[in-house]
Structure 1
Amino acid sequence: MKKPILLGISLAIIVGAGLGVLIWWLVAGRHSSFTTILLEENALGTIPYNAAFTRIRGAGDIFWWFYPTTRSDPSSQPLILWLDGVTGIPPSLLANFGMFGPYDLNMNERTNSWVDNYNLLFVDAPLGTGFSKAERDNQIPKSLEQNSNHLLNALESFYNRNSNYTTTPLYIFGEGHGAQLALSLAIKLAEDAPFEHNLKRVVIGNGIIDPTIALTKLGFYLEELAYVDNNGRNVLETFSNETRQLVADGQNGEAFDKFLSLGRVINEEAGAVAVNLAFIADKLTRESTAVADDFGLRKYVQDASHSRSDILKFMDETVAPALGISNDRVYDEGRVAVLEAFRNVFLLPAVHLIEYILQNTNYAVTIYNGNMDAVSNTPGQLEWIENLEWSGKDEFISSPRRTLIVNSRVEGYFRETPRLQFYWMNAAGLSVPFDSPVAMRRVLERILI
């Protein structure tokens, strides 16, 4: 297998030690603020792809991985850009191998992959998540503005390598905290994109948009589902009020620290005992809740996918070598530093970003929400959605709620206007494509046009 080499730099040979040093990066494009470093292509499985690091000067490397659709004339088919965020599982792992990429976590070809119909672009962001790496921890973005600049560079880098996709209809998906990244990138594209693109829509899945508002409904939500009693509801409402007050007082870091203890509070203080915040229908043992990673999502995906190996080791031991990524880059090793970087901004509401898009651009916004997610619980999401301030508010609120039926099964409900759509997704948690793939495919058919 041919290794990438750096164009413009000679092969350096250390004569004294008798050792050769291979400069193995292939630089495919140069820009005043970033360099595109292509990785090994088509070395993992049989489905074509290209992947790269966008090396941003003075910051670090953003990793992206692109699969052209297997349909004919790929550049005319929709392009899905998938983002996660600070508290989730990076797209190169969860979205790609865990949910809808060409292969599953056991490297078996997926029979219902989205690549059959759509172009897929997975971007690990922010720096420090997944294969993306900051030069130093203090280079990790501490704001959505900084992060959107990094994403803008990564997208330009992608288009430089795949120039025939600049007019392809683009849809930016953001799951969990990735919703904030998706919205800020869309605004950046609307305001001052230095390259051609064809963005059509932003899609938010169980988005962390106004998390303290969602918290206000959590006690009610879990009591109605019988996970806690009235005493437990009181505990959660006290927790919610204290967290919101910290944010109101500008103590955002302290509020974030408190927010991260939510799983312990629900299971130990509110009496739920064994609730997986990402998918509350998951039946756990008392002991399994002691392992708190990504709000329970990583363990859930690991168990539900029947992966034969630890999913993080899979990325280090199987994926990285195939892509030609150096073995000194440990997958998702910067997660703790990323959490620290976003500590003071994570809980700030991002509702204004949606309002800006609806009021100042032609982009549509689609929001879907799995009803088994505790953190972004559906009652809490509807609280801020129905209070969005924009010119189409009355039309959206008054539009009828319709039923989403697939194969004669009620998979959820939806309310829609041309600019804004909301989907209630039944029996699904934080990651709807993982929990309810058939219903999610129907949503895609409706919105990717």
Structure 2
Amino acid sequence: MDSAGVLNMKVAVLLCFVFGSFAEPLKFKPHYVEPKQEWSYVDVREGAHMFYWLYYSTVPEGFQHVPLVMWLQGGPGGSGTGFGNFEEIGPLDVNLKPRNTTWLQVASLLFVDNPVGTGYSYVDNDEAYTHDVTEIANDMMVTLNTFFMIKAQQFQEVPFYIFSESYGGKMTAAISQALYQSIQSGKISCNFKGFAMGDSWISPVDSTLTWAPYLYVNSLVDVTGYLKVNDSVTMVADSITKGQWREATDLWGASQTVVVENTNGVNFYNILKWGQGESSSLFKEKDNVSYRMLAPLYQDDLAQLMNGQIRDKLGIIPKNVTWGGQSNEVFATQAEDFMKPVTDIVDDLITNTDLEVIVYSGQLDLIVDTLGTEQWVYRLSNADTFRKAKRKPILDPITKLTSGFVQSVDNFSFYWILDAGHMVPSDNGNTALEMLKMIVNTNKYKH
């Protein structure tokens, strides 16, 4: 952005509303009209402060006629306001250029830096970090209660969905269960319709045990490499069976080093993107397990943007808070809970609620490969019925070529997204947007 653009941004900060929204649109590129926005902190507990950033949909008929989608990043400790926003589905990319596949064409977007300590969210002391998905869900209930009941009551009747990625899916399962219960008990007024878990860490043992076959069928290891990887991940599974959760997390990190050494540094997030976003040296740093889950977040241009122009624009970030793509501290405090599954929660929400439950998986993702995701999906209570459902192709809206498949039964759907890795909207934005349209079926919300 040129100096004039930066000046306009700083002037806009002076016109902030009480909750952080700005009165005049910022000037970015010609023909770009910045959407209406609001942002705020929520004090979820003493010493724990969660940040959210709301974008109103750009549809001509107005935000009341389309859904609200909350986006949760993975990690745990990955920043949704940074990565999900500027790298995947927000209105602008890291270079502040309009994104053609922004989800604002279909829904309003709510990015939350979750858990506390992630991105712009912060804690006053180490004791305020969360340690498991139950604590994460409790904090989110405070945030959503504040959002729907106090700061954004205009969204109470708007259909609400939670979309997530990676570890965000594990958090989303727990959050969705807590939110559904809060709505049923009358604590929160919210038109909650469903949730989607993208390349999500729902059953860590299934995701990890399928690395060897996935690598082998994609010619990334030979038989010898297959056996080495399989031996390593079997140790992870053994620790899980014994309930040695922290040891399982450590062994999971060590097993990635085995994968890297036997594949010449495969990219865990997209097996076709050699040398992009991560390097083998990251995987060899003994105590840097958190890097392995979200290494692509370590990008200088995004960090500079978030700690520079965006920080100035928001105007409410404390001086002692530095935005980071991935918080090592957040990951470390979740180490005991990291390898625990939440398949029982997903099964409960499919069986005992009317929520739409969606799983989507990128074809080129290794770290949460489709093979592993199918393993736990085919153990759900509705597995027999789901297997008999017809799988339908999804066509790319531009090329009209097959770019995915979907299979549904009752309130459960599975989307296979082709030409995409772990970060589906980043790799295949057209199909991700098409998937969103299919899920929320925007037309049924128009009056």
> Which residue identity does 1:39 align to in structure 2?
G
**Match for residue 226 of structure 1?**
219
- 1:301, distance to aligned residue in structure 2 (A): 8.5
Q: Distance in 2 between matches of 1:330 and 1:90?
A: 12
Partner of residue 244 from structure 2, selected from 251, 262, 279:
251
Conserved? CA contact 1:276–1:295, under 8 Å? no
The Cα of 1:56 is off from its aligned counterpart by 2.0
Q: Distance in 2 between matches of 1:400 and 1:380?
A: 21
How far apart in 2 are the matches of 1:234 and 1:53?
Answer: 49
Matching residue within 259, 267, 281 for 1:276: 267
Contact 1:93 1:315 in 2 (8 A): yes
Instruction: Tell me how far apart the structure 2 counterparts of residues 158 and 251 of structure 1 sit (CA, whole Å).
Output: 38
Within a 5 Å distance, the mapping from 1:104-123 to structure 2 comes to: 104-123=93-112
Which of 45, 53, 57 is the aligned partner of 1:69? 57
Residue 51 in 1 paired to residue 51 in 2? no
Please say if residues 269 and 421 of structure 2, whose CA atoms lie closer than 8 Å, have aligned partners that are also in contact: yes
- What SS class does the counterpart of residue 291 from structure 1 fall into? helix
Partner of residue 208, structure 1: 201
1:386 aligns with 2:374: no
Deviations 1:393-417 (A, max 9, x none): 3221111222222232110222112
Q: Deviations over 1:399-440 (max 9, x none)?
A: 122222223211022211231111111121111000011111
The Cα of 1:112 is off from its aligned counterpart by 2.9
Change in CA separation of 1:75 and 1:219 when aligned onto 2, cut-off 3 Å: same
Determine helix, strand or coil for the equivalent of 1:280: coil
Post-superposition CA distance 1:251-307 (Å, at most 9, x none): 211111222234322112xx10121101111122899321357437544895xxxxx
Question: Is 2:362–2:421's contact at 8 Å kept on the other side of the alignment?
Answer: yes
Separation in structure 1 between the aligned mates of residue 256 and residue 101 of structure 2, nearest angstrom: 33
2:298–2:325: 8 Å Cα contact kept in structure 1? no
Report Cα offsets for 1:345-384 as digits up to 9, x if no partner. 1100110011110121110111110011111111111011
One-letter amino acid of the counterpart of residue 120, structure 1: L
Spell out, residue by residue over 1:51-73, the C-alpha distance to the aligned partner (whole angstroms, 9 max, x if none).
01111231411110000101122
CA separation of 1:225/1:139 partners in 2, compared to 1, >3 Å: closer, same or farther?
A: same
Q: Please tell me whether residue 367 in structure 1 is matched to residue 359 in structure 2.
A: yes
- Partners in 2 of 1:341 and 1:286 — Cα distance? 25
SS at match of 2:379: coil
CA distance in 2, matches of 1:331, 1:300: 12
TM-score (norm 2): 0.86
CA distance in 2, matches of 1:212, 1:96: 30
Q: Cα deviations across residues 140-189 of structure 1 (Å, max 9, x unaligned)? A: 11121111111111112222211111010001112100011111111112
Q: 1:414 aligns with which of 403, 406, 426?
A: 406
Residues 78 and 297, structure 2, Cα contact 8 Å, conserved in 1: no
- 2:8 is matched with none
Match of 1:404 in 2: 394
CA contact (8 A) 1:92 1:122 kept: yes
Unpaired runs of at least 5, structure 2: 1-10, 28-33, 284-289, 442-447
Compared CA separation, residues 300 and 61, structure 1 to 2 (3 A): closer
Higher alpha-carbon deviation: 79-88 or 331-340: 331-340
Q: What is the percent sequence identity of the aligned residues?
A: 24
Residue of structure 2 in register with 1:445 after alignment? 437
Letter in structure 2 aligned against 1:267: V
- Distance in 1 (CA, whole Å) between partners of 2:341 and 2:146 is 30
Deviation at 1:76? Answer: 2.2
Give the root-mean-square deviation of aligned CA atoms.
2.3
Instruction: Say which of 288, 304, 312 aligns to 2:303.
Output: 312
Counterpart pick for 1:426 among 418, 430, 433: 418
The counterpart of 1:295, out of the listed 282, 292, 295, is 292
Distance 1:3 1:98, change over 3 A: closer
User: What does the per-residue CA deviation read over 1:203-251, in whole Å, with 9 as the maximum and x for residues that have no partner?
Assistant: 0100100011121111011011011111111111111110011122222
8 A contact 1:41–1:51 mirrored in 2: no
Distance between the aligned counterparts of 2:326 and 2:365, measured in 1?
Answer: 26
Runs of 4+ in 1 over 4 A off after TM superposition: 2-5, 42-45
The 8 Å contact of residues 279 and 430 in structure 1, kept in 2 or not, is answered as: yes
TM-score of the two chains, using structure 1 as the length reference: 0.86
- State whether residues 222 and 233 of structure 1, in contact with CA within 8 Å, keep that contact through their aligned partners in structure 2: yes
1:34 aligned partner = none
Quick check: 1:174 aligned with 2:167?
no
Which AA in structure 2 matches 1:178? G
Of structures 1 and 2, the one scoring higher in RCO (CA 8 A, sep 6+) is 2
Q: Could you tell me which runs of 5 or more consecutive residues in structure 1 were left unpaired when the two chains were aligned.
A: 6-24, 29-37, 303-308
